[in-house]
A and B are shown apart, each in its own frame.
Chain A
């Protein structure tokens, strides 16, 4: 069957599945809309969290990042998983015990302060909205590449699907579709990886294949990759290239940012008991780790395949490189998208792809510079099945998986945004005596509004779309995570301390990011060029969230020690959330 028809069938089938689930998960109360009636099984919630967390970036971009950065990309592997350890031990069980619907409502109650609550709502909306723009873009790209429909049509189709299940079913609809989406995305990710691992190493488990010997007898796969790369003048794959301090702080920022992202935290409000919240985080990480431990294998193997496709013979010999006219069809397909670009600099009709290490051999070989002028890292996962000559249904599956990853994350983020608008801003501040029914309607309207705003930004992406991930993690790491942790683990931190800590943490992080990336990301307004020599102690803007968090903690404790302790009832509240007994009973799901 033709690839395009096949892709339409597979993607259409998954969409039909999501709609059926949506119709079966309509809700009637705010408890169901916000937290799925607190009746989600911890293992299923783990699965939903996996889909909620793993975005278009995890599915499409991460393996590509690993392929081109090698060891240094470990920052993302450890950073985006290690946060779950913190979540399980420091936040999730206590926030579940507290039993409210949103993250800002805990911050507002614990610090008995509207300012703290509004600050938390603002951080939540900025972090989640910037994040959702990337998902919308991912949906559009997947559609336009694989279904050859326009970007807009793809985006509207995605928005329509999310609209149906998120507006009708709230958290319940989102949870049930996320479970289905997890199955689609993990299947789509692992199937090509298994095939490629088998082809290269004979081992069907990619995690083991990465550490195995090549079937062609050329030694261990990673040693081979190191050798191929260094021979072609690139840096060795398995060694560290960046500065140690920056790698540590970057990892830490991603970890505490992950633990502080509201759309992840609220997933653990949906399980019946405190003990379920603890184990559910473990299950979430199991489901996430299946993809995250496969990604390094996908990255390394895709890189090796790419190098071997182009460098077919001895380096420097006249026939050692692939002729441009003989390039494979996937090469042509991706050239059309502009994500892959070749330029015949020395006019020999062959492709030379090499790194700066071969500069001094150029004259000897008759080369005039690296001719692969653009190899976008995002194509590594998407083109992987084609590079490995896998059947069409595998390629169609990858398209459906990418769309599932983007949709599930978008829905989770939109839910976090709409629940904090309807519950914290409307119910909490403007109309405290709103009825349950009105609040549910407000939640639905907020959800519809958030989808439209996200869609607008997906169609008209602000120039800074690529930069904002640093912003989302920086905000979550420097404001929400420390505030929640201090709220649970300290009885002394008071209203003034927490609010000033949050503001200083965010302030420092924002200024540092804007300093190197331009004020509000307007190009040309940065104060210093964004290069390692200019960074404070070599800390990149993406890694600064952990410094912001440290500032938050320091300011909050210092200010709290000079100002009156929190009132009696707040201290009781803290004591109460520390023990599981007495958490709200589960409702019917």
Chain B
């Protein structure tokens, strides 16, 4: 039972970490900090604008696959995987 509790605690920690990144790239870089970031130019993109319309979406995708991969490791570590 304590193993399952530890599994859940590690999962929650992972989720919180991912949600913080999720928040920073969209609400942080894309909205709250958009003006200062827009003073930085990468190619033809203003950085804040890029995060709001492109960057945050790429990072969302990466986050989900990162989470899925880490959870597969965690499932095996605590022996709660399906097969």
By secondary structure, the B interface counts as: helix
Report if A282-B68 is in contact (Cβ < 8 Å); known contacts: A82-B22, A222-B45, A238-B38. Answer: yes
Chain A residue nearest to B66 in the complex (CB): A282
Q: Which residues of A contact B57 (CB under 8 A)?
A: 77-78, 81, 289, 292-293
Q: Which residues of B contact A93 (CB under 8 A)?
A: 71
Chain A residue nearest to B22 in the complex (CB): A85
A589: CB under 8 A from chain B? Answer: no
Report if A240-B34 is in contact (Cβ < 8 Å); known contacts: A207-B54, A212-B43, A278-B71. Answer: yes
A71: CB under 8 A from chain B? Answer: yes
Q: Is the CB of A84 within 8 A of B42?
A: no
Q: Is the CB of A89 within 8 A of B27?
A: no
The stretch among A158-166, A473-481, A576-584 that forms the contact with chain B is A576-584
Q: Is the CB of A77 within 8 A of B52?
A: yes
Chain A contacts to B: CB under 8 angstroms: 66, 71, 74, 77-78, 81-82, 84-85, 88-90, 93, 207, 210-213, 220-223, 238-240, 244, 247-248, 251-252, 273-275, 278-279, 281-282, 285-286, 289, 292-293, 296, 575, 578-583
Chain B contacts to A: CB under 8 angstroms: 4, 7-8, 11, 15, 18-19, 22, 26-27, 30-32, 34-35, 38, 42-46, 49-50, 52-54, 56-58, 60-61, 63-65, 67-68, 71-72, 75, 78-83
A589 to B54, CA, bound (A): 37
Report if A296-B54 is in contact (Cβ < 8 Å); known contacts: A239-B38, A244-B31, A575-B4. Answer: yes
A210 to B55, CA, bound (A): 13
Q: Is the CB of B34 within 8 A of A578?
A: no
Q: Residue A211 contacts which of B4, B7, B11, B42 (CB distance < 8 angstroms)?
A: B42
Q: Is the CB of B64 within 8 A of A220?
A: no
Residue among A81, A88, A244, A274 having the largest count of chain B Cβ atoms under 10 Å: A88
A423 to B32, CA, bound (A): 44
Q: Which residues of A contact B83 (CB under 8 A)?
A: 273
A239 to B60, CA, bound (A): 23
Known: A85-B60, A273-B83, A580-B80. 10 other contacts (CB 8 A): A71-B52, A77-B57, A81-B56, A85-B63, A223-B44, A239-B35, A244-B31, A578-B4, A581-B79, A581-B80
Shortest beta-carbon distance, A251 to chain B, in Å?
A: 7
List 23 A–B pairs whose Cβ atoms lie within 8 Å, in order of A's numbering: A71-B34, A71-B49, A74-B30, A74-B52, A78-B30, A88-B67, A89-B15, A89-B64, A211-B42, A211-B50, A222-B46, A240-B35, A244-B32, A248-B32, A273-B82, A275-B71, A275-B72, A285-B61, A289-B58, A292-B57, A293-B53, A579-B78, A583-B82
**Smallest CB-CB A-B distances: 7 pairs:** A220-B44, A74-B52, A282-B64, A278-B68, A211-B45, A579-B80, A211-B44
Q: Which residues of B contact A279 (CB under 8 A)?
A: 64-65, 68
Q: Which residues of A contact B64 (CB under 8 A)?
A: 84-85, 88-89, 278-279, 281-282, 285
Q: Is the CB of A89 within 8 A of B45?
A: no
Q: Is the CB of A78 within 8 A of B75?
A: no
